[in-house]
Amino acid sequence: MAAMTIAKLQKMKQQGQKISSLTAYDASFAKLMTEQGVDFMLVGDSLGNVVQGLSSTVPVTMDDMVYHTQLVRRGAEQAFVIADMPFMSYATSEQTYRNAAELMQAGANMVKLEGGHWLIETIQGLTTRGVPVCAHLGLLPQSVNVLGGYKVQGKQQQQADDTLAQALELEQAGAQLLVLECIPAALGKRITEALSIPTIGIGAGPDTDGQILVMHDMLGMNSDYLPKFAKNFLAETGSLSGAFSSYVEQVQRGEFPAAEHCYS
């Protein structure tokens, strides 16, 4: 299979083909996901929760992210890999460029940052220096202490309008992909239609250009808690390879997410 690229993801949006993505943290799962047709993988700072057993992503370090990005790249040499820049690793320009370079050298094709207006100069600086950026709006796990918990964002009209305005600004600044997390489905649709770059939803409704889930959620490994926007594909198929291929197929056909996985 030919390597995925930003240009191909862009073309998929233009042609109305749904993009499937999952988080990956090691070589074995990265290899399996790629073999089952997952379009790209995110080395998420969610590893703090699902790999390290932490209560949030805030304690995850750059060293953690570099290490896991290297593992994923080893498992899937041709895959398109995005790496999260962890909490406070992009607070100043100098720090941002140094840390982004580390992730790219570790094997990432793109870095992901959480936030809106305040990231404009950061994104411009990174893209000018050859670092592709995936932006992230809606629920921002790194800002959970400011947001007051894991809550759906953009439910009020003003908040929804502001999220759309920020999405347009981020695209203008040079972001080439946008993750939308835990927002009403109608807002996910509105933002997706307004942007020319692909949107990837996690709890953002069926109308985003693609979907992403935390691997552990879609395999039902967080037995005490399954987010509303997730589904246990392993229980449905009975094998890991079956779970990944079924997820890809259901995203491509527009069957996932269904109404029960969405916020209104």
Instruction: Answer for the pair 37, 245: CB distance below 8 angstroms, yes or no.
Output: yes
- Is 46 annotated as contributing to ligand binding? yes
Pairing of strands 40-43, 19-23: parallel
Q: Is 236 a catalytic residue?
A: no
- Is 64 annotated as contributing to ligand binding? no
DSSP 143-187: GHHHHTSS-----SHHHHHHHHHHHHHHHHHT--EEEEES--HHH
- Cα torsion angle, 208, 78, 63, 7, sign: negative
- Residues 69 and 53: their CA atoms lie apart, in Å, by 19
- Is 228 annotated as contributing to ligand binding? no
Q: Is 197 exposed, middle or buried (0-12, 13-18, 19+ CB in 10 A)?
A: buried
Instruction: Find the catalytic residue in 171, 181, 249, 260.
Output: 181
What are φ and ψ of residue 82, in 5° steps? -110, 140
Residues facing 113 on adjacent strands: 135
- Amino acid letter, residue 1: M
DSSP 64-85: HHHHHHHHHHHH-TTS-EEEE-
Q: Which residue has tokens 């209560």?
A: 55
The residues annotated as belonging to the active site are: 181
Annotated binding site for Mg(2+): 45, 84, 114
Annotated binding site for 3-methyl-2-oxobutanoate: 45-46, 84, 112
Annotated binding site: 45-46, 84, 112, 114
